[in-house]
Amino acid sequence: MEIGFLGLGIMGKAISVNLLRHGFKVTVWNRTLSKCGELVELGASVEETPAAVVKKCQYTIAMLSDPSAALSVVFDKGGVLEQISSGKGYIDMSTVDADTASKISEAILAKGGQFLEAPVSGSKKPAEDGQLVILAAGNEALYKEVIPAFNVIGKKSFYLGQVGNGAKMKLVVNMIMGSMMNAFSEGLVLADRSGLEPQVLLDVLDLGGIANPMFKLKGPTMIGRSYPPAFPLKHQQKDMRLALALGDENAVSMPIAAAANEAFKKARSMGLGDLDFSAVHETLEALKPPH
Ligand SMILES: NC(=O)c1ccc[n+]([C@@H]2O[C@H](COP(=O)([O-])OP(=O)(O)OC[C@H]3O[C@@H](n4cnc5c(N)ncnc54)[C@H](OP(=O)(O)O)[C@@H]3O)[C@@H](O)[C@H]2O)c1
């Protein structure tokens, strides 16, 4: 199966490398074309525009930062729409809102193409290891056709029905995750400031009913105040913002998520947007008086 891949950020690069490792032919494009070099060394081909990738490949996957990037790659000059046609499928794995997914879907369908939204749960390491959870919605026939690729990319894929449901599911999941991260961060600081060992807090948490992989993975680096980006904080804040908008539309009060969003915004204002989302911890650590 020949797959086109648009967007070689943290996730796109990891997914493309994984597809190449499993014997897929992959043709890549990235806005900053120089980032394609590493993939070429691993056997990928490169094209200079999204349109050229779509022209070459029956299936094209995109993994882009946010709604404006996802729209730009489809609608702008040299974009996906210029070459999408009957018999070609476009699969957008970016985390966007349901409106963005619908706009892209309608435009692709109007050109005779097939569309699937397929945002993913899981971060850099699961992407490298093919252990993502895929939240697909849209054209079910296309979903079935690309299952061989999804089986390599993820450990499980869900088909959620009409376009928009994938985006909504993803936003609900990340809204919960962002709120949890803030509660966890407050707990680490509270333990420290009240004279407890944060590492012992991690050990206690890990043995109880709220043990989870995120606390286990991020806890030690947060204690060390190190935040190498796996999931950039600016994207987590985008997801909180989009989830809050979904709450607005549905009249769902979300005071916890709203507070978490403010913390992520604060972190962005401190220049931490490109660090891992666990860097929201610094909004509290930075307030600590020096020892
Ligand atoms: N990282 C995670 O743990 C994770 C997990 C699940 C879902 N996601 C979601 O997956 C998506 C990608 O995340 P990531 O972590 O891979 O982000 P990233 O490392 O910041 O990569 C973003 C990608 O989007 C491209 N891009 C940004 N603006 C663009 C534009 N206007 N036109 C064309 N391309 C543009 C970037 O190109 P350049 O290289 O030229 O900047 C890059 O390829 C986001 O929607 C994120 O929320 C991330």
Q: pLDDT of 170-217, one tens digit each?
A: 999 999 999 999 999 999 999 999 999 999 999 999 999 999 999 999
- Return left, alpha or beta for 43; rule: phi > 0 is left, psi -120 to 50 is alpha, else beta: left
Q: Is 289 helix (H, G, I), strand (E, B) or coil?
A: coil
Residue-wise pLDDT for 26-63, tens only, equals 999 999 999 999 999 999 999 999 999 999 999 999 99
Nearest CA to ligand 1 atom 8: 95
Query: How many other CB atoms are found less than 10 A from the CB of residue 255?
Result: 7
Q: Is 65 in the pocket of ligand 1 (CB under 6 A)?
A: yes
What integer is the mean pLDDT of 282-287? 85
Q: Ligand 1, residues 64, 96, 125: which to mutate, most atoms within 8 A of Cβ? A: 64
DSSP letters, 222-286, are: HHTT----SSBHHHHHHHHHHHHHHHHHTT---HHHHHHHHHHHHHHHTT-TTSBGGGGGHHHHT
First to last CA, the chain: 58
Q: Where are the domains of the chain?
A: 2-162, 168-285
The CATH number of 2-162 is which of 3.40.50.300, 3.50.50.60, 3.40.50.720, 3.90.1150.10? 3.40.50.720
Q: Is 49 helix (H, G, I), strand (E, B) or coil?
A: coil
pTM: 0.96
Ligand 1 centroid distance, CA of 192 (Å): 34
What is the three-class DSSP state of 135? Answer: strand
Specify the amino acid at residue 231: F
Q: Is the pLDDT of residue 289 over 80?
A: no
pLDDT of 91 over the 60 cut: yes
Ligand 1 centre to CA of 239 (Å) is 13
Per-residue confidence (pLDDT) for residue 291, from 0 to 100: 47
Asked if 78 and 51 count as a contact pair (C-beta separation under 8 A), the reply is yes
> Looking up tokens 């597809």, which residue turns up?
19
Whether 2-162 shares its CATH topology with 168-285 is answered no
Mean pLDDT of 105-111: 98
Catalytic residue (one of 103, 170, 218, 238): 170
Report the distance separating Cα 47 and Cα 120, nearest Å: 25
Name 116's bridge partners: 91, 138
Q: What is the share, in percent, of the chain residues with pLDDT greater than 90?
A: 97
- The rounded percent of the chain whose pLDDT value lies above 70 is 98
Q: Provide the strand spans (E) within the chain.
A: 2-6, 25-29, 45-46, 59-62, 89-92, 114-117, 120-121, 132-138, 154-159
- Catalytic residue list contains 218: no
1.10.246.90, 3.40.50.300, 1.10.1040.10, 3.40.50.620: which CATH number matches 168-285?
A: 1.10.1040.10
